[in-house]
Each structure stands twice: as C-alpha cells, then as structure tokens.
Chains A and B, each alone.
Chain A
C-alpha cells in the first residue's frame, strides 16, 4: 500500500472502498492507460475541443466542508475510484491557508454522476464532505439528453456501464470520451452482475436524505430532485455494501424501507418516513417539527401537505382539519404555530419600526435553553425507537435555529414587507417559557452528574449544551433521571419577553479641515476636567448624527491620523469616518449632506467636505497602510540669528532620506520608548520677506513622524534633525498639515450636486 493510501486510512475514512477491498490498491492513474485512445482514428479533434472546453465545468465535482488535513493527494486517491482524474485543486486563501473546499475534475463527464453516487456521505477526518456537481444546474439537462437511460436504477452504475448501456448512441457528444476500451474499473461481466445483484440486496439508510419515493423510483416521470435523491441513495447503498456482506445480514429486497443493522444484536431495524411521522405524532409533535425531523428544506415548509405527500407520508386521521388539540408541541413549544407568528408580528409592529428606513430586516431570536434540551430528549426517544438509524452525533432534525431561518424569517419578512438582509434592521426577540427555569435547574444537576470530573465551575450555556449534550456523549438513562424522554407536553406557548430593534451600522465618511489652533481632535479631559470646550469629533458628530441616530454616545469617530491641538489642517483635508450603530436611516441625500457641511462650517473652526455614506468595508482605507501614507506639512520656524543663503540651500532637499526618531518626551509617559526610522521625501525652505530670522519650511514625510521634534531635534533625540542639518538651533512656532496622501473617500462636491439638482428642479418648475 502506498503512503498516500496509508494517509487515507489514517484519515479514518468512514466509507468502504469496494474496489480496493476486492482487488487490492487502486489501479494506476487512468490517463496513462488511456492516452493512446485519444489518438485513435475515430477521434474528431474539432468537435472534441469544443466539447472538452465546454464541459470542463461539467466534469468538475465540488467538495465542500473539507477538513484542513485533507490534501490534494488524499482527494485524488479517493476520487480516483470514480474514474480517471484530470486535476484536483484545493484553493488557498490570502494567507496561504487551505480553504475548506476543493474541486475534482474528471477526464470523463460520466464520472461525475457516478462519483456523486459513490461518495455521497463520505466522511474525512470525521467531517462530512459535501459533494456537488460544479455545474449543478446543468447536469440534469445534460443527463436527460446524453444518458437517455430508461431505468434510473441502472443508470448510475458507473461511468463505464453507462457507456455500455448507451451502445450506439454515437451522436451523443461525449461518446468519444467515454466509449473506450481501456476501462480499468470495468471488471468482467461477472463482476458487473455481481454488482447489480448486490445493489438490489443491500439497503442502507442515508440519514441525510431519508426519503424515497417508490412510485417515482420505478417510473420515469418523477421530478428530478427526488430522482437524484434516489440515485444518491443507491450510491450510498453501494458504499455500505462491503460491510453488509461481511456482516452477513439477511438479504431480502427492501424496496422503500431503509435498513441499517444496529450495533447491538446485529438486528436490522427499519425506519420509514411514515413510521417516523406516526411516532412523532404520538408524541404530540407539530407538523412543522415533523417536517424538521424529515429534514425538509427551504421551500418545503411552505406547502406542508404537499411536502408530506411527496415524502410519501400520510396523516392517518385528518388532523389539519380537526381543531388542533390545545397541547403545544413539546419540541418547539409552539414556536412555529400560526398563533405565535401572529403574536410576533404584532409585537414587532407595536415597536416603532417605521422609524427605520431600512428595506432589509434580520430576525434574531433568543430561544430558551429548554428547546435544546427538548431536542436532545427527542433525539434519545428516536434512538430508542429506531435504534442506530439515528446518528448519535448529528442531530436527527433540522436545528431550530435553522428552521427559524427557513420558516419564520420568510413569513415575518412578507408580513412586514421587508427583505431579509443580514445587514439590515435587526429585530432582537427574546423568548421565554415557564418551564425554562425548572428544566435548566435540572440540567445543572444533570451536568454535575454527567461530568463529575470537571470541578471547574462551568456555567450552563447554550454553547455548552450544543457541544457537550449529544447522545454520543451522554447516556440516555442518566438523562432520564433528570429529564423526561420523550419531552413532555406543555400547556403554554413560548412568550415574547422583549423585542428590541437595532438599526444597521451606517458609516459616513468625509474630509475635515481644521482652522483653529485651539481645538483638540477628541474631547480633551485631564483629571476629569474638560480642557477645551469643543473638539473636532464633537463638532462633526453634532451636525451629522441627528439625521441617523437619536443617541450620539455610541458613534465612533476615526480619522486617518490626527494632528496636535495647535496644528491646523488645510488643503483638501483629512479623511475621517463615523461609525453610527443602530442607525435609523442608511442614506444621506446630497442636500442633507450639504446642510451638515454648512452646519459644521458655521463653527468657523472645522470645515467638512465630501460627506457621504460609505460601505463599511471601505473604512479599512483609513487604518491600513498608516505608515506608508505621505503627509505634507508647512512649518513656521525661527532662528536666533538671521537666515543665510547657506542655511536655505541646506534645507532644499529633493531626495528622500531617513531619520531616526526617539519617542518624543511629550508622549513618552504613555508610549513605549522606541527609535523609529522615518523617511523625509522632500524639504523646501523659504524665508519671510522682512523677517530675516523666519523660515517657512514645506516638508513631505512619511506618516508617523513627529514634525516638531524633527525641526528642533529635541536635545539630539531625533537625528538628523533640521537643527543638526544646518548646525544651528532652530525652533518651530506653528505647523499646518497641508495634505494627506489618501484618495479616500471619493470626492463628492455636495454643493455642486445640490446646485445641479436645484437647476433641474427650477427648469422643471418653469416648464
């Protein structure tokens, strides 16, 4: 066995490999064997090219939920079983880490459905791999065109069998690829027969798709989806084949009944959808939850009777017509009842949802823990009833959280006439139930009994419940000592505890200019006392925030760097952004933006422009590349003696150079002591007419440089400094930021835009 195969075994593959077991290691990779085939005389190059190009995607299999340990090699070796592989690829993310999905491209189109069959339910490193055809929407069409095989069950045998079945369907596009003689997996006819026989014998339950439709299975008129499911099912059976045979279970044809022999007693326990539903009904489970236990998906909850029909489940008595018993479903506590939905919508409408202009909403339910406990209890109950058919690590139902997304979300959205948008208005609903306190108390006791070793005080939390409490980790008997199995019925529905609306996070960006030399960046508080009346942050927030939010406390002001209290910021200004949580409004009209800008301007200290709403992702422009940005400054410097031409010449530098700057003393008490290398890109000094000892110096520097210290050198702690360059003391009296090298946010002249709109309006009016 080669090392890769060993690796696969080490990966604790949960599937059998019939070919391997029967015939030793997987044969050598296919391409080598079949290479000559491409050059055969029947090979039509032109047609093949188009076919090949076209079906690259079609020939690709998508594998999701891969463990990080799964390598290209492992994927190759495993998927090779379904046919020769052209390429295997697991993409990497930006950080070079492997993504959790991969692609397997086969040489042959026919290998894809075969592989889909063969590997459904594959687990690698204890993670269930999701396998889909890459061209998921197309294969069905293709299949019906190319593989006009009458019987579904015989269709999915293997890619080579297909070809045989097709026989002289020579016109089919892929015939030349797939109809070849070198078929390493195409065993003797005897083997084929064997295979077919076994298939009809075996019966395996696929937990994820516990549905078959015997009517559809034998007719060609069923819908495609269930057809596919049946196909998967057959593939699955095949995978379990070996185990079945070695265990020598009785071999009787079981049509729509799934069997899996139980661990204990080697009995065959069967479970049918009908059985499941009947049992659930006897426990008083509501129909929505019944569907959950049937693992229904998305739209299948909308028309439940139809779904039940399709799943071949009949409700013996006409329950839906009868007045439903007053009992509340013990697994969802009425969460999915119409009554509850009505309450919820009413509750939401009672809040002033109209205050928010957001089109999208997202529903966040905080469910009592008892729901999780009840799910676990039901899980135990099902295991008792149906045995190992029910997995002990993967829950038998669609989790309530997911079901809320599938069921409640669309209903609430439709009722409120809003879209579902994870970035929209968040409706936080806290739910409570009278049994919660009592059951959690029992859970606490159970926890002590179940995990006695752990002396640490662990608080019972939802996360803990989810992680620790599975049939695999806790014994049913122990559980039953504290809590009933199956869950008991309750009289009361879930109650709404509170509904809180949280608006989306809106980001507003712009550029500010600062004209005052006595204005701090953020509120300056020293020993609990305000040192200055205003700050840039407050001036901007006061003018911008009221439009978006009622409270200004949680708004975060950020900017691309900051200047000292006594430094002005001129030119185009410094980019800034406001992060406004719980915003009522997510847009900003030009007109309003202009009004806000004018309001800030009226302060005479700060001026704002380019005000606009930006997507949150763009905020990273402010913080990234902080040290790469160039900053432009103008400094007013003075010398004790008149400036000479020599000094001026020394201060004209157009080539960049690096200085070493120790943390200035003025910030040393709160910053670490470091020597930072910083680049000066250019220097230009001029002299003021009539003031011979005054220099005006324009600098372009790397961000993060302390300019004041650069000028006077701070006792030699910055070297070289302007003082050391000219060899004479020089001091700085005033500093202006005249430019920041960041082209963000976009330049929007709200004044011009508004003017333009006004003109359009006036012309419309005049007409």
Chain B
C-alpha cells in the first residue's frame, strides 16, 4: 500500500513493530506476527453454531437467531431477516407484562435463581418505528442467565451491532436437553433456504400485486 511508495514521510514510521529476538529451548522464538491468518474466523464463527427459531404469531412468521456456544450457552438475537430491521427499531422492553426479565439475578456457579424459560416464553418486547410490537421469544428451554439491559437505553444497537452484539439474553439450557433443543431449531443451511423461499414468496407476492 502507501508504505511502499512513500518512505520518507511514512506516518506509521514510529508505530512499526520490531520483534525482539529471544531464544528458548535453544531455538529462536517465532514472532507473534507469524500467527497472522488472513482468513481467521470471526468470534461467532470460532465459538458458536448458528441456529434459528421461527415464531408464528398472527399468521406472520418472524425468525430469531440462537448462537449456540460450544459450552451450550445460548445467545438469543434477531435473525438478520427479522422484519423489525426493515421497520426500524424504536425501543426494547424487558418488562413483558407479568414479569420484568431485567430483574433476573443469578448466583454462584450453578446460576441459582435464574428464571426458567420455555421456548415460547417472552423474553422482551420490541417496538418498531412503525409501531408494531414483536414479542421476542426465548427460542429454547433453559435458565435465564443474563439480560442485555443496555438495549433498553440504546435500542439502536440492534441495528448497528456486529453479529451477536445485539443479543437480548443469555440462556443456559440443561445438558440433557441440548440434543432435543438443537433438533428443534432450524440450522443455518435451512435458514438460508427459508430466507430464499420467503424472499421468493415476497417477490412473487410483489409480482402478483403488480
């Protein structure tokens, strides 16, 4: 890049990395920069498997994403094709009527005291700028560990955030339920098919409409 052409006025000059040489076990230690991998996977790709959950309400389907960590911890997010993104997100509320999910407290390693949720329990309420209210489901059966309360103050995070950073909550399913849960969710491949189909339908509908 530019560093090759302009050598005398390189703004990075003082920031260039120089490795100190070191010998351990009678061999020079390879510099850390040798570990650079251009195609290094992202945090989500490294640790999580993507699953999806479809919630049908009022004849409309809304997809949600479950990031399944290798240690079975799950992050509940909106799927990229969730209609709320198109409508613009106005607010997030964890007070789902009879209970306020943001009051969830867990103690100790065993996460005692966390609310136990079913797949269709409502985690939060999402209001779009169009005024539609979407119920965010828990997607899986498990114990509520953490609620992303930051979303209450900054609902726009959902739109801007990197993949995963727009999580609503962290859930911990029981080990023995894990296989069932995974089987009940939509895999990433299925989800892509589903997105394709729905967009086709949308296109068809649009075509029909025109």
Contact = CB atoms under 8 A, between A and B. Distances in A.
A97 interface: no
Contact of B47 (A666, A669, A688): A666
Interface in A635-650: 635-636, 638, 642-643, 645, 648
B15 A733 contact: no
Nearest to B172: A669
A733 B73 contact: no
Contacts of B24: 513, 515, 570, 607
B33 A672 contact: no
Interface string B146-164: 1010100000010001101
Given A636-B32, A672-B109, A716-B165, A687 B75 contact: no
B7 to A, nearest CB: 11
A688 B33 contact: yes
A731 B42 contact: yes
B146 A662 contact: yes
Interface in A659-684: 662, 665-673
Nearest to A736: B32
A334 B37 CA distance: 78
A673 B36 contact: no
B72 A638 contact: no
A687 B111 CA distance: 42
Given A671-B109, A691-B36, A694-B36, A666 B71 contact: yes
A514 to B, nearest CB: 9
A673 B43 contact: no
A672 B108 contact: yes
Contacts of A731: 40, 42-43
Nearest to A696: B17
Interface residue range, chain B: 35 or more
Interface string B21-34: 01011110100110
Contact of B1 (A515, A517, A688, A692): A692
A607 to B, nearest CB: 5
Contacts of B181: none
A733 B26 contact: no
Interface in B69-127: 69, 71-73, 75, 106-109, 111
Interface in B5-62: 11-12, 15-17, 22, 24-27, 29, 32-33, 35-37, 40, 42-43, 47
A515 B23 CA distance: 11
A428 to B, nearest CB: 38
B73 A668 contact: yes
Contacts of B26: 601
Contacts of A694: 33, 36
B64 interface: no
Given A645-B12, A669-B172, A729-B162, A712 B43 contact: yes
B33 A716 contact: no
Contacts of B69: 665-666
A734 interface: yes
B145 interface: yes
A691 B33 contact: yes
Interface in B157-178: 157, 161-162, 164-165, 167, 170, 172
Contacts of A689: 3, 16-17
Nearest to B12: A687
B1 A642 contact: yes
A470 B26 CA distance: 70
Nearest to A609: B24
B73 A734 contact: no
Nearest to A684: B15
Contact of A687 (B17, B42, B43): B17
Nearest to A668: B73
A238 to B, nearest CB: 63
A716 B73 CA distance: 17
A670 B172 CA distance: 11
Given A570-B24, A607-B24, A638-B36, A669 B17 contact: no
B36 A733 contact: yes
A76 to B, nearest CB: 50
Contacts of B43: 712, 714, 731
A607 B109 contact: no
A715 B65 CA distance: 15
B195 to A, nearest CB: 23
A691 B75 CA distance: 34
B104 to A, nearest CB: 10
B36 A636 contact: yes
B22 A570 contact: yes
Interface string A488-519: 00000000000000000000000001010100
A736 B35 CA distance: 11
B47 to A, nearest CB: 6
A568, A665, A686: most-surrounded residue (chain B CB, <10 A): A665
Most chain B C-beta atoms within 10 Å of own C-beta, residue among A636, A670, A729: A636
A501 B99 CA distance: 65
Contacts of B106: 672-673
Contacts of A438: none
B35 A517 contact: yes
Given A636-B32, A666-B71, A688-B17, 18 more contacts: A636-B36, A642-B1, A645-B15, A662-B146, A668-B172, A669-B71, A669-B172, A671-B109, A686-B15, A687-B15, A689-B3, A689-B17, A690-B3, A691-B36, A694-B33, A729-B162, A731-B40, A734-B32
Interface of B: 1, 3, 11-12, 15-17, 22, 24-27, 29, 32-33, 35-37, 40, 42-43, 47, 69, 71-73, 75, 106-109, 111, 145-146, 148, 150, 157, 161-162, 164-165, 167, 170, 172
14 contacts: A604-B25, A636-B32, A636-B35, A665-B47, A670-B71, A670-B109, A671-B109, A690-B3, A692-B1, A713-B165, A715-B165, A716-B165, A733-B36, A733-B37
